[in-house]
Amino acid sequence: MKQLLLKALDLKRNMTDGDYLIPPKQTTILNNRLDELLAVEYSKFHEKEQAFVKRFIKNRESILTFLTYKNVPPDNNTSELAIRNVKVKTKVSCQFRNNEGKGADRYAKIRSVVDTAIKNGQDVYTAFLGLAYQ
Protein backbone atom coordinates (compact mmCIF):
# COMPACT_ATOMS: atom_id res chain seq x y z
CA MET A 1 0.00 0.00 0.00
CA LYS A 2 2.83 2.36 0.88
CA GLN A 3 4.51 1.80 -2.48
CA LEU A 4 1.23 2.37 -4.29
CA LEU A 5 0.64 5.68 -2.52
CA LEU A 6 4.21 6.82 -3.16
CA LYS A 7 3.80 6.03 -6.88
CA ALA A 8 0.51 7.94 -6.91
CA LEU A 9 2.16 10.98 -5.31
CA ASP A 10 4.99 10.84 -7.83
CA LEU A 11 2.48 10.59 -10.68
CA LYS A 12 0.55 13.62 -9.31
CA ARG A 13 3.76 15.69 -9.26
CA ASN A 14 4.43 14.89 -12.91
CA MET A 15 0.89 15.27 -14.28
CA THR A 16 0.08 18.06 -16.73
CA ASP A 17 -3.26 19.85 -17.20
CA GLY A 18 -4.09 17.54 -20.11
CA ASP A 19 -3.59 14.46 -17.96
CA TYR A 20 -6.70 15.37 -15.97
CA LEU A 21 -8.81 15.38 -19.14
CA ILE A 22 -7.44 12.07 -20.40
CA PRO A 23 -5.99 10.17 -17.43
CA PRO A 24 -2.63 8.50 -18.10
CA LYS A 25 -2.39 4.72 -18.20
CA GLN A 26 -0.58 4.76 -14.84
CA THR A 27 -3.73 6.09 -13.14
CA THR A 28 -5.71 3.06 -14.28
CA ILE A 29 -2.89 0.74 -13.24
CA LEU A 30 -2.75 2.31 -9.76
CA ASN A 31 -6.54 2.08 -9.34
CA ASN A 32 -6.49 -1.58 -10.36
CA ARG A 33 -3.62 -2.30 -7.98
CA LEU A 34 -5.49 -0.58 -5.15
CA ASP A 35 -8.51 -2.80 -5.83
CA GLU A 36 -6.24 -5.86 -5.68
CA LEU A 37 -4.76 -4.77 -2.37
CA LEU A 38 -8.18 -4.14 -0.86
CA ALA A 39 -9.48 -7.52 -2.01
CA VAL A 40 -7.07 -9.31 0.35
CA GLU A 41 -8.55 -11.56 3.06
CA TYR A 42 -7.93 -9.52 6.19
CA SER A 43 -9.90 -11.49 8.80
CA LYS A 44 -6.68 -13.03 10.17
CA PHE A 45 -4.98 -9.64 10.52
CA HIS A 46 -4.49 -7.91 13.86
CA GLU A 47 -7.55 -5.99 15.09
CA LYS A 48 -6.06 -2.56 14.29
CA GLU A 49 -4.95 -3.73 10.84
CA GLN A 50 -8.48 -4.98 10.16
CA ALA A 51 -9.90 -1.59 11.11
CA PHE A 52 -7.34 0.08 8.84
CA VAL A 53 -8.29 -2.09 5.85
CA LYS A 54 -12.01 -1.60 6.54
CA ARG A 55 -11.54 2.20 6.51
CA PHE A 56 -9.71 1.95 3.19
CA ILE A 57 -12.50 -0.19 1.73
CA LYS A 58 -15.19 2.16 3.05
CA ASN A 59 -13.41 5.21 1.57
CA ARG A 60 -12.16 3.51 -1.60
CA GLU A 61 -13.61 6.12 -3.95
CA SER A 62 -11.77 8.94 -2.17
CA ILE A 63 -8.29 7.43 -1.91
CA LEU A 64 -6.95 8.33 -5.37
CA THR A 65 -9.29 11.26 -6.10
CA PHE A 66 -6.30 13.59 -6.32
CA LEU A 67 -5.26 11.82 -9.55
CA THR A 68 -8.60 12.68 -11.16
CA TYR A 69 -8.95 16.35 -10.25
CA LYS A 70 -6.22 18.95 -10.61
CA ASN A 71 -7.20 21.09 -7.62
CA VAL A 72 -7.54 18.19 -5.17
CA PRO A 73 -4.38 17.88 -3.06
CA PRO A 74 -3.09 14.43 -2.10
CA ASP A 75 -3.13 15.31 1.60
CA ASN A 76 -5.20 17.29 4.07
CA ASN A 77 -2.44 19.65 5.19
CA THR A 78 -4.40 22.77 4.20
CA SER A 79 -7.36 21.62 6.29
CA GLU A 80 -5.08 20.93 9.23
CA LEU A 81 -3.55 24.39 8.91
CA ALA A 82 -7.00 26.00 8.72
CA ILE A 83 -8.08 24.59 12.09
CA ARG A 84 -4.71 25.30 13.70
CA ASN A 85 -5.61 28.98 14.24
CA VAL A 86 -8.73 28.02 16.15
CA LYS A 87 -6.83 25.57 18.36
CA VAL A 88 -4.13 28.15 19.15
CA LYS A 89 -6.75 30.78 19.96
CA THR A 90 -8.57 28.33 22.24
CA LYS A 91 -5.40 27.28 24.04
CA VAL A 92 -4.19 30.84 24.58
CA SER A 93 -7.45 32.31 25.83
CA CYS A 94 -8.99 29.02 27.06
CA GLN A 95 -12.29 30.02 25.51
CA PHE A 96 -14.18 32.34 23.19
CA ARG A 97 -16.07 34.88 25.21
CA ASN A 98 -18.32 37.85 24.59
CA ASN A 99 -21.58 39.17 26.08
CA GLU A 100 -23.91 37.27 23.72
CA GLY A 101 -21.96 34.02 23.82
CA LYS A 102 -21.34 34.10 20.07
CA GLY A 103 -17.60 34.74 20.10
CA ALA A 104 -16.68 31.35 18.61
CA ASP A 105 -19.17 31.74 15.75
CA ARG A 106 -17.90 35.21 14.90
CA TYR A 107 -14.29 34.12 15.06
CA ALA A 108 -15.01 31.13 12.79
CA LYS A 109 -16.72 33.35 10.19
CA ILE A 110 -13.90 35.88 10.15
CA ARG A 111 -11.25 33.15 10.01
CA SER A 112 -13.14 31.46 7.17
CA VAL A 113 -13.01 34.64 5.07
CA VAL A 114 -9.31 35.13 5.82
CA ASP A 115 -8.37 31.52 5.01
CA THR A 116 -10.46 31.45 1.82
CA ALA A 117 -8.95 34.70 0.58
CA ILE A 118 -5.42 33.44 1.25
CA LYS A 119 -6.14 30.10 -0.39
CA ASN A 120 -7.45 31.83 -3.52
CA GLY A 121 -4.50 34.21 -3.69
CA GLN A 122 -6.59 37.27 -2.86
CA ASP A 123 -5.80 40.20 -0.63
CA VAL A 124 -7.55 39.69 2.72
CA TYR A 125 -8.43 43.37 3.13
CA THR A 126 -9.97 43.46 -0.35
CA ALA A 127 -12.00 40.33 0.45
CA PHE A 128 -13.46 42.00 3.54
CA LEU A 129 -14.22 45.15 1.56
CA GLY A 130 -16.03 43.01 -1.01
CA LEU A 131 -18.17 41.49 1.72
CA ALA A 132 -18.89 44.90 3.27
CA TYR A 133 -20.28 46.30 0.01
CA GLN A 134 -22.52 43.36 -0.89
Encode pLDDT of 20-61 as tens digits.
888 889 999 999 999 999 999 999 999 999 999 999 999 999
For the chain, the farthest-separated pair of C-alpha atoms sits apart, in whole angstroms, at 62
Q: Is 114 helix (H, G, I), strand (E, B) or coil?
A: helix
pTM for this one? 0.64
Q: Is 119 helix (H, G, I), strand (E, B) or coil?
A: helix
Q: Is 33 exposed, middle or buried (0-12, 13-18, 19+ CB in 10 A)?
A: middle
Domains of the chain by residue range: 2-67, 77-132
